[in-house]
Structure 1
Amino acid sequence: MLDNILEIFSIWNMIRLSGFLALFFITFSAGFGMLSKVSCLKKKKALSHFIHLSSAWGSALSLLFHLFLLVVDTYQPFTLIEMLIPFNANYAPFAAGLGTLAFYFIIIIYLTSDFGMKKLKRNTWKKFHWLAIPAWIFSLAHGVIIGTDTATSWAISYYLVCIFFILLIGLVRATQKPVVKSVTRRG
């Protein structure tokens, strides 16, 4: 029984789980971030924003755990150089490079949002925040290409649900009037 428990919580399984979890949170964060400007959810904007931020932090934590496990893995370890320089890994360099680029985009988004939002002009912040789209695409592609579970029906379903979720929210956002802040004049 102990062997079964150790197998379930093996580094290899935790690498896979943390990767899937990071994609889940990135998908939710991107989706609910897109929903923040949809007029039909104006009354739920605070909840949507809370889910967006919570998911962003969930993705950051699961991503950092994923990266840590890749360094300490004894079967197919990644060096810090392999993880920091895109497309430089010995194992699956293209897929690993997409993951590295997604990581950098996510770091830029976090730094400009949580630490630099008050110091940046809104338009500059928004331009950095648009990196969320390639970050999500690269994260998804990274998982699909490098993932050892990609050929399984549950992983295919998982990836398709993530794609459908983002496309559906993108469609909702594209067809709804944006939330516009009203400006009142004092006289």
Structure 2
Amino acid sequence: MTALALTGSPLWYASRAGGTLALLLLTATVVLGIAAGGRAAPRRIGRFEIGLLHRNLSVLTLVFLIAHVVTAVLDPFVHLGWTVTVVPFGASYRPLWLGLGTVALDLLLAVLVTSAVRSRIGARRWKAVHLLAYAAWPVALFHGVGTGTDTRLSLQLWLYAGCLMSVVGAVWWRLAKSGPGRVGGRLVAAVTAAAVPVLLAAFLAAGPLQPGWAQRAAATIALHLGGGR
């Protein structure tokens, strides 16, 4: 564990806890949406109950995500402004990795807003935007791995591995249960499910698991600002 993790402020711990819980809840939401969709939907549980659970998990995800964002901004160590919570890659502290978190938040907010006006925009448009929640999950995962100062901890690595395997397993379950048709979509899903674990493992081996990753990740500040602080 780094010195920051040992001497971090209560806001740092709250931000990390909120982010971790948000990732777990987002993973559960995505897994439920994938595994229970289409022909893979369990027959013993009604679609209403599944939909209700899915919505409740989504709301809880946003609650902890907002807690994660607010505590990160209030933490005096990183000096973040409120603008970077909605405008990606504008932070002076690890702009790339924090920017990924902002992208994930924006995608989830788009889903929330369109869900509130679903009757006005129509089910087809709402469904198209709703798919952004699935795109937000890998972005959020790489955000947590890249910017988290506790990524090298065994517990955190197992947590990331559990989230990854849960989503990949859900995708393969859905593919196994799906009927004929939509070959292109199934092929994209299969390739993506196979590629994400490989990319994450390669990234971990070359980046966060190597000594000095915190300094290298922060080095993008100089590039971002056109020079040093």
Relative to the length of structure 2, the TM-score reads 0.70
Is the counterpart of residue 171 in structure 1 residue 172 in structure 2?
yes
Moved more, 137-146 or 40-49: 40-49
CA–CA distance in structure 2, aligned partners of residues 122 and 49 of structure 1: 15
- 1:27, 1:166 within 8 Å by CA — same for their partners in 2? yes
Letter of the 1:31 counterpart:
V
Is the counterpart of residue 142 in structure 1 residue 143 in structure 2?
yes
Moved more, 28-37 or 15-24: 28-37
CA–CA distance in structure 1, aligned partners of residues 21 and 8 of structure 2: 16
Alignment partner, residue 184 of structure 1: none
CA–CA distance in structure 1, aligned partners of residues 48 and 8 of structure 2: 38
Instruction: Using the TM superposition, give the Cα deviation of residue 37 of structure 1 relative to its aligned residue in structure 2, in angstroms.
Output: 2.5
Alignment partner, residue 109 of structure 2: 107
Gaps of 5+ in 1: 1-6, 179-187
Distance 1:79 1:68, change over 3 A: same
Name the SS of the counterpart of 2:141 in structure 1. Answer: helix
Is the counterpart of residue 18 in structure 1 residue 5 in structure 2?
no
- Sequence identity (%): 26
Letter of the 2:156 counterpart:
A
CA–CA distance in structure 1, aligned partners of residues 111 and 58 of structure 2: 10
CA–CA distance in structure 1, aligned partners of residues 68 and 79 of structure 2: 12
Letter of the 1:12 counterpart:
W
Alignment partner, residue 127 of structure 1: 128
Name the SS of the counterpart of 2:149 in structure 1. Answer: coil
Gaps of 5+ in 2: 1-6, 180-229
Instruction: Using the TM superposition, give the Cα deviation of residue 77 of structure 1 relative to its aligned residue in structure 2, in angstroms.
Output: 2.8
* 1:1-187 mapped onto 2 (5 Å cutoff): 10-34=10-34, 35-39=36-40, 41-44=42-45, 45-113=47-115, 115-177=116-178
CA–CA distance in structure 2, aligned partners of residues 65 and 10 of structure 1: 13
- 1:98, 1:139 within 8 Å by CA — same for their partners in 2? yes
- 1:21, 1:62 within 8 Å by CA — same for their partners in 2? yes
Q: Deviations over 1:35-56 (max 9, x none)?
A: 2324450332333323211110
Letter of the 2:166 counterpart:
F
- 2:73, 2:80 within 8 Å by CA — same for their partners in 1? yes
Name the SS of the counterpart of 1:42 in structure 2. Answer: coil
Alignment partner, residue 185 of structure 1: none
- 1:32, 1:49 within 8 Å by CA — same for their partners in 2? no
Task: Give the aligned length.
Answer: 171
Moved over 3 A (4+): none
CA–CA distance in structure 2, aligned partners of residues 149 and 8 of structure 1: 12
RMSD (Å), alpha carbons: 1.9
Q: Deviations over 1:92-123 (max 9, x none)?
A: 1001110111010000011112x111112222
Alignment partner, residue 187 of structure 2: none
- 2:104, 2:140 within 8 Å by CA — same for their partners in 1? yes
CA–CA distance in structure 1, aligned partners of residues 11 and 117 of structure 2: 35
Letter of the 1:41 counterpart:
P
- 1:19, 1:63 within 8 Å by CA — same for their partners in 2? yes
Instruction: Using the TM superposition, give the Cα deviation of residue 67 of structure 1 relative to its aligned residue in structure 2, in angstroms.
Output: 1.1
Letter of the 1:55 counterpart:
L
